Amino acid sequence: MRITSAMLADSAQVHSGKLFILGGGFDTIRTRSVPAVHKALAVVMVAEVTPGERETDLSIEVTLLDEDMQSLGPRASGTLRVGDTPTHRPGQASIIPLAIPFFDLRFPAEQGYVFRVSHQDEELTRIPFSVLVVPQPPT
């Protein structure tokens, strides 16, 4: 399995094998102060599963890390199982969209962060982003 694309989005879901993304592709979360709580975001990915990986359990883990690669606690894990269909040509990979929501994420500092995506302790991809404090303009 490999990840062919990955991004952050305000919201995303998979329906009928397609990704529906709202507010996708950002790399900065702007806040008035830290620590900050971000109400919701989604880790959005497209995975390519080889024919030899079909009909097997593929574990996926998504972990939030700070810029020093220390875990902040929030993580999601699960198992992906891709079946074989008669529409696949011999040797053709399966393209699998994934949308993993996270809620009420706490960011302790203005710095860089990363979502690390792994399969059986092997890193598949990283999605880096920053939390930036933007002061409120004087009134």
- The pLDDT tens digits of the residues spanning 34-59 come to 999 999 999 999 999 999 998 899 99
Residues 6 or more apart whose Cβ sits within 8 Å of residue 30? 132, 133, 134
Q: Is residue 137 part of a domain?
A: no
pLDDT of residue 84: 74
Taking only Cα atoms into account, the Rg of the chain, rounded to an integer number of angstroms, comes to 17
Q: Is residue 79 part of a domain?
A: yes
CA separation for the pair 80, 46 (Å, rounded): 13
User: Can you give the residue range of the structural domain that contains 25?
Assistant: 2-132
Per the structure, the count of domains in the chain is: 1
pLDDT of residue 39: 96
CA separation for the pair 17, 97 (Å, rounded): 7
Residues 6 or more apart whose Cβ sits within 8 Å of residue 111? 66, 67, 130, 131
pLDDT of residue 77: 96
Q: Taking 80 as the threshold, does the pLDDT of residue 87 lie above it?
A: no
Q: Is residue 139 part of a domain?
A: no
CATH of the domain at 108: 2.60.40.2550
19, 7, 69, 41 alpha-carbon torsion, rounded to 10°: -70
In the structure, what pLDDT confidence band is assigned to residue 16 with cuts at 50, 70 and 90?
very high
- The angle subtended at Cα 47 by Cα 58 and Cα 20, nearest 5°, is 120
pLDDT of residue 2: 95
Q: Taking 80 as the threshold, does the pLDDT of residue 86 lie above it?
A: no
Q: Is residue 12 part of a domain?
A: yes
Q: Is residue 50 part of a domain?
A: yes
Q: Is residue 138 part of a domain?
A: no
Q: Taking 80 as the threshold, does the pLDDT of residue 98 lie above it?
A: yes
CA-wise closest residue to 114 among 7, 5, 2: 7
Q: Is residue 122 part of a domain?
A: yes
pLDDT of residue 28: 97
